[in-house]
Amino acid sequence: MSDEEGADWRAALEDAGRLTASVAETIVSIHGDRGLRAIEAVAEHRVKQYRDFTVVVGYDDEYVVEDGGCTCKDSSYNLDPEDPDQRCWHVLAVDIAEALDEVDHHDMWYSEVREFL
């Protein structure tokens, strides 16, 4: 994916203020299954902002997304850290949720929440 393609779907998403079919198709065509999983996470309100971190609730765990990076194994093992265009679905979900103002905000520290899990 080029910077231009990534910027295009992000700009189109922000302009529309909602996830249109054409933007969703573009996300999936560029990011494949990662894009689809990101869209599903946003639709299911699984992007959460705490005082200290943004967290995406996955199927098996919760993943911290910070500064365009993620704590998931996909980011650690499958993506080229030198290529800023390669993103896991958790980071894509945060991008989409932020553009749509669909982040679930919690006025608490995530580190405190993790103590209960």
Taking alpha carbons only, the member of 106, 99, 114 closest to residue 51 is 106
Q: Is the pLDDT of residue 4 over 70?
A: no
Task: Give the least confident one: 35-39, 46-50, 52-56, 78-82.
Answer: 78-82
Q: Which residues constitute the domain of residue 38?
A: 3-116
Q: How far apart are CA 58 and CA 83, in angstroms?
A: 24
Taking alpha carbons only, the member of 32, 80, 87 closest to residue 56 is 87
Query: Mean pLDDT, to the nearest integer, of 102-106?
Result: 95
Q: What is the pLDDT of residue 33?
A: 95
Report the percent of the chain where pLDDT is more than 70: 90
Query: Mean pLDDT, to the nearest integer, of 2-11?
Result: 67
Query: Mean pLDDT, to the nearest integer, of 3-26?
Result: 83
How many domains, the chain? 1
Q: Are 55 and 48 in contact (CB under 8 A)?
A: yes
